[in-house]
């Protein structure tokens, strides 16, 4: 909870902040690279049907949510799923926030399970951020994310980016989301298209988009993506608008069997388990933000469920059950994350998936349409 109080205070102070000087993670986008960096045009990308291109009769779509260090749950689910022998070769993978950081390794398959597991069981706070103190918010962030960017450089190598490009050429798709705060819009990025770019700086761009997707406003500094006209756009954590990324065009109507798999890196309790708030202003702010994010997740999951069912796809949901203790999303404790990883691993290996969001009433249920 201490971390959440710092976040709440940061959001207040950030109202007085000025834009900091350019720093790590800022990227200038050359005009010739615009095709690689764009908000997805559904008409343009709708023709890119990965399963159809490869002649498959089944389409599998994986959605990875935000959740900070609770991403250990999702990493464990993927590991256990691989061990069960039932994990699909996903046609589409999407990620938001910590899900965006996981998405590349999930997209590249079980060969990267060990590396993904290490990211969520062996890192500590100092591997992700440095505390700048509350006064740091006056320059846009309480925490310095340089350690995270160094981790991205270690994980997202030129070789990894080339492997993403190779899978993109096969018709598979990898998307992550940021929020453009200047325009107030959710921005999905086609990471395979970035990876396939001929631009020499594409690896830096790839890493910058991932850093932006996890840049919690007030907690981490935004990433400024500067177009060729010299105008910077302020990009932050995609989870500020959508906890998971899913668009109707992703469903391939020409494939008879379609499955949407959603891994939520958080719990979904009926009641907030944090106890009474009291009159403390920081606690009031923190709880209010927490409740806003909680209802946003519930509504987004129902939207994904409705879109999947109306599109003729199964809906399959994994989230941290009430019987498993969550970690503090901003505290990276290897022992706690390892515990959560093993719980996710057991769930993934056993194939424990919910067929609908929690607590639906009968009138909210949607039969799957056959297309």
pLDDT of 50:
58
Q: Out of 69, 82, 97, 213, which one is annotated catalytic?
A: 97
- Residue that is written with structure tokens 């200047």 in the block: 182
Give the separation between CA 172 and CA 166, rounded to whole angstroms.
9
pLDDT of 144:
85
Catalytic status, residue 97: yes
Per DSSP bridges, beta strands 92-96 and 173-180 are parallel
pLDDT of 233:
85
Q: Which of 206, 270, 203, 264 is nearest to 239 (CA)?
A: 264
Catalytic status, residue 266: no
Give whole-number Cα distances, 164 to 57, 87, 161, 181, in Å. Answer: 23, 19, 5, 28
- pLDDT tens by residue, the chain, 371 residues: 445 444 444 444 333 333 444 444 556 554 444 433 444 544 445 445 555 556 678 999 999 999 999 999 999 999 999 999 999 999 999 999 999 999 999 999 999 999 999 999 999 989 888 887 666 656 667 788 889 999 999 999 999 999 999 999 999 999 999 999 888 888 889 999 899 988 888 999 899 999 999 998 878 888 988 765 677 888 999 998 999 999 999 999 899 999 999 999 998 766 666 667 676 666 666 656 666 777 788 899 999 999 999 999 999 999 999 889 877 888 899 999 999 999 999 999 999 999 999 877 676 777 767 65
In which element (H, E) is residue 250 found?
none
Could you tell me which residues come within 8 angstroms of residue 367 by beta carbon, excluding any fewer than 6 positions away?
A: 309
Domains, the chain, with CATH or none: 2-358 (3.40.1090)
Give the separation between CA 338 and CA 336, rounded to whole angstroms.
5
User: In 3-state terms, what secondary structure has residue 365?
Assistant: coil
Q: Which of 290, 338, 267, 364 is nearest to 72 (CA)?
A: 338
Residue 95 φ/ψ, nearest 5 degrees: -145, 150
Q: Out of 26, 45, 180, 237, which one is annotated catalytic?
A: 237
pTM for this structure?
0.86
List alpha helices for 61-197, DSSP H.
71-84, 98-107, 113-119, 146-155, 158-169, 191-195
One DSSP character per residue, 45-79 reads HTT--HHHHTT-SEEEEEEE---GGGHHHHHHHHH
């Amino acid at each position: 909870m201490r971390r959440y109080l710092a976040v709440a205070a940061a959001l207040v102070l950030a109202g007085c902040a000025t834009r900091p000087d350019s720093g790590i993670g800022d990227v200038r986008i050359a005009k010739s690279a615009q095709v690689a960096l764009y908000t997805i045009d559904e008409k343009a990308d709708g023709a890119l049907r990965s399963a159809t291109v490869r002649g498959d009769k089944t389409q599998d779509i994986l959605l990875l949510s935000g959740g900070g260090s609770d991403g250990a749950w999702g990493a464990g689910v993927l590991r256990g799923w691989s061990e069960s022998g039932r994990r699909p070769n996903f046609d589409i993978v999407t990620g938001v926030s910590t899900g965006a950081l996981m998405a590349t390794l999930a997209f590249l398959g079980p060969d990267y399970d060990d590396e993904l597991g290490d990211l969520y069981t062996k890192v500590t706070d100092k591997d992700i951020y440095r505390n700048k103190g509350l006064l740091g918010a006056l320059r846009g962030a309480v925490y310095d994310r340089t350690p995270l960017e160094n981790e991205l450089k270690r994980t997202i190598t030129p070789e990894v980016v080339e492997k993403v490009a190779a899978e993109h050429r096969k018709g598979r798709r990898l998307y992550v989301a940021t929020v453009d705060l200047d325009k107030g819009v959710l921005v999905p990025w086609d990471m395979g298209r970035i990876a396939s770019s001929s631009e020499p700086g594409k690896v830096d761009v790839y890493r910058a988009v991932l850093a932006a997707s996890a840049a919690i406003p007030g907690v981490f500094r935004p990433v400024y993506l500067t177009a060729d006209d010299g105008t910077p756009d302020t990009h932050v954590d995609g989870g500020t608008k959508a906890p998971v990324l899913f668009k109707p065009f992703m469903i391939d109507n020409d494939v008879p069997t379609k499955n949407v798999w959603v891994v939520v890196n958080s719990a979904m309790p009926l009641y907030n388990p944090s106890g009474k708030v009291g009159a403390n202003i920081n606690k009031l702010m923190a709880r209010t933000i927490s409740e806003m994010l909680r209802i946003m997740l519930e509504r987004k999951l129902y939207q994904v469920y409705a879109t999947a069912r109306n599109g003729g796809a199964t809906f399959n949901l994994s989230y941290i059950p009430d019987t498993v203790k969550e970690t503090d999303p901003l505290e990276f404790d290897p022992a706690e994350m390892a515990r959560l990883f093993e719980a996710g691993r057991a769930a993934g290996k056993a194939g424990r998936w919910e067929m609908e969001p929690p607590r639906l009433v009968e009138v909210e249920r949607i039969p799957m349409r056959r297309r």
